[in-house]
Amino acid sequence: MAEKYNQFRKRLSARRFVVPVAGVQGSGKSTLLNALAFDTPVLPIDADETTCVPVEIVYAERPSGQAVVLYADGREEWTAATAESIAAFVHHHHNPANEWQVDRVIVESNRPLLQHGLVLVDLPGTGSLTTRNVETTRRYLEEAVGVVFLLRTVPPLTRSESTFVAFHWARLPTAFFVQNRWTDERDEEVEGGRQHNLHVLKQLAARHRIPLDGDPCIHVVNTYLALRGRLMDNAKDMDASGLGRFEADLEARSREWPKVLRDGITAAVRADLHAALEAIERRRGELNADRATVEAQLKMEGERFKKYIDELERTFAEMRKAIESFSSDRRRDIDDWCRIAGGAIRNEMCTKLRQGIVDGPHLSRALLDEESVQADLIFEKVQEELLAFQVKLRERFQSIREWESERTDFRSSRRAMSSSS
């Protein structure tokens, strides 16, 4: 009980509502964040592969104009909050594979959007072939409270993107969807892409039991036009970009998160107080009962609890066995898929060699392209299997009944509201 209320205290003192922006490399994440948070570009805008260094944007009434570089060993370094200076730490060309061991970079913004504790995070692109990038994206999304999924018009949501979105959307309470519109895309193209993306999102929600009040909201934003409007202080460009509607939605929901947190903790405290009152009334009744009656009740309660624990142990043993079996089967599948992929790559490269690509950067690029295609196929297969297994595990956990003491003992009661936060 003491530990639970200590966690309540920590959560109530929290000032951060962490919302990373996730999307494939080159989808416009940095452009979107620059338009949202700055008057001049602070985040490097580059379609090339970056390192696994996230950039956090936090609120400051008077930004210092400096960025804090935090290293994995605890060291701190300050640098100018400019795209050029930050690129020296986050760009693959300057810091390949994050050999400098930078944990993250923090920059400040005085945008009212961030005033209520919202922290936006620029992440490496999803689908990256750099292992550390994938790990960094996964870690931030596990710790986040919300997420912005940046989608494209062409191509719309692919299979690999869909599995990524479903995996994280199923566990994040607050998700925003933004479809980036490039300036050369026609209205018909944009609407067609939006309808496709909407259809895929509804399918994902139904398949993975993600509750929806209505259709998912997809904000169509021309990030380039938004950034240009911000830099040139052009209200017409800003309005035409669609950024304002997304910004308003993001700010409204960022205002709500402290209230949602307080309401959840208040409900938990009320449940504990109610349990305490019930326990007091029960104890008052026990004081008027004879010793034999109380001992008989205690014995019956002990027998019920032992049966409950035995049932839990059997259930968890079955689940552990299922997890071990799933892991073993997937390892064999991956080995088989890798052998098939290796054969497919050899066949494709032989074809390209016959077509005259025999040396130099063109051959290297062709090999990387083929490896990327096969890696995406394997990734899709693994993710599909993992998502299906995740649903089965969730159903099994949900079937476990909660212990309910017939004596309503305050010290042993386990109530859902007590752990809801």
Tens of pLDDT, residues 286-332: 778 788 887 888 898 899 999 999 998 998 999 999 999 999 998 89
Q: Is the pLDDT of residue 362 over 90?
A: no
Average pLDDT of span 148-173: 82
pLDDT of residue 250: 92
DSSP result, 88-121: HHHBTTTSGGGTT-EEEEEEEE--GGGTTSEEEE
22-26, 354-358, 370-374, range with the lowest pLDDT? 354-358
Average pLDDT of span 80-109: 88
pLDDT classification of 49: cutoffs 50, 70, 90: low
Domain boundary among 241, 265, 295: 241
pLDDT of residue 414: 38
Q: Is 5 contained in some domain?
A: no
Identify whether residues 192 and 260 lie together within a single domain: no
Average pLDDT of span 134-143: 71
The set of residues, in sequence order, having a beta carbon less than 8 Å from that of 390 and lying 6+ positions away, is 167, 170
pLDDT of residue 173: 64
Q: Is the pLDDT of residue 421 over 50?
A: no
Helices in 242-355 by DSSP H: which ranges?
243-287, 291-354
Report how far residue 325's alpha carbon sits from residue 320's, in angstroms, rounded to the nearest whole number.
Answer: 9
Higher per-residue confidence, 395 vs 198: 198
Identify whether residues 375 and 264 lie together within a single domain: yes
Identify whether residues 260 and 316 lie together within a single domain: yes
Report how far residue 50's alpha carbon sits from residue 44's, in angstroms, rounded to the nearest whole number.
Answer: 10
Average pLDDT of span 10-27: 80
> 66-71 and 102-109: which strand pairing?
antiparallel
Q: Which two tokens stand for residue 28?
A: 């416009």
Q: Is 41 contained in some domain?
A: yes
Identify whether residues 221 and 343 lie together within a single domain: no
Q: Is 248 contained in some domain?
A: no
Question: Residue 308 belongs to what domain range?
Answer: 256-421
Report how far residue 401's alpha carbon sits from residue 398's, in angstroms, rounded to the nearest whole number.
Answer: 8
Average pLDDT of span 38-54: 77
Output the pTM of the full model. 0.66
Identify whether residues 228 and 307 lie together within a single domain: no
pLDDT classification of 82: cutoffs 50, 70, 90: very high
Percent share of the chain, pLDDT over 90:
33
Identify whether residues 229 and 264 lie together within a single domain: no
pLDDT of residue 405: 63
Per-residue pLDDT of 264-294, as tens digits, reads 778 878 888 888 898 898 888 877 878 888 7
- Output the average pLDDT for the chain: 83
Identify whether residues 193 and 320 lie together within a single domain: no
Identify whether residues 260 and 237 lie together within a single domain: no
Domain boundary among 241, 272, 300: 241
52-56, 132-136, 389-393, range with the lowest pLDDT? 132-136
Q: Which two tokens stand for residue 140?
A: 């931030």
Q: Is 246 contained in some domain?
A: no
Average pLDDT of span 63-79: 93
Report how far residue 377's alpha carbon sits from residue 210's, in angstroms, rounded to the nearest whole number.
Answer: 25
What CATH number is attached to the domain comprising 103?
A: 3.40.50.300
Q: Is 117 contained in some domain?
A: yes
Identify whether residues 219 and 271 lie together within a single domain: no
pLDDT of residue 270: 87
Identify whether residues 35 and 170 lie together within a single domain: yes
Domain tally, the chain: 2
Identify whether residues 173 and 280 lie together within a single domain: no
pLDDT classification of 56: cutoffs 50, 70, 90: very high
Identify whether residues 329 and 394 lie together within a single domain: yes
Average pLDDT of span 98-108: 90
Report how far residue 229's alpha carbon sits from residue 249's, in angstroms, rounded to the nearest whole number.
Answer: 20
pLDDT of residue 385: 83
Q: What three-state secondary structure class fits 307?
A: helix
pLDDT of residue 382: 82
Domain boundary among 199, 216, 241: 241
Calculate the CA 420 to chain-centre distance: 19
Q: Is 157 contained in some domain?
A: yes
pLDDT classification of 255: cutoffs 50, 70, 90: confident
Q: How many CA atoms lie within 13 A of 317 on its CB side?
A: 6
Higher per-residue confidence, 359 vs 73: 73
Q: C-alpha angle with apex 171: 165 to 176, nearest 5 degrees?
A: 55
Q: Is 319 contained in some domain?
A: yes
Residue 266 main-chain phi, psi, to 5 deg: -60, -45
Report how far residue 395's alpha carbon sits from residue 357's, in angstroms, rounded to the nearest whole number.
Answer: 52
Buried b (16+ CB within 10 A) or exposed e, 289-309: eeeeeeeeeeeeeeeeeeeee
Q: Is the pLDDT of residue 413 over 80?
A: no
Q: Is 10 contained in some domain?
A: no
Report how far residue 416's alpha carbon sits from residue 421's, in angstroms, rounded to the nearest whole number.
Answer: 10
Q: Is the pLDDT of residue 411 over 60?
A: no
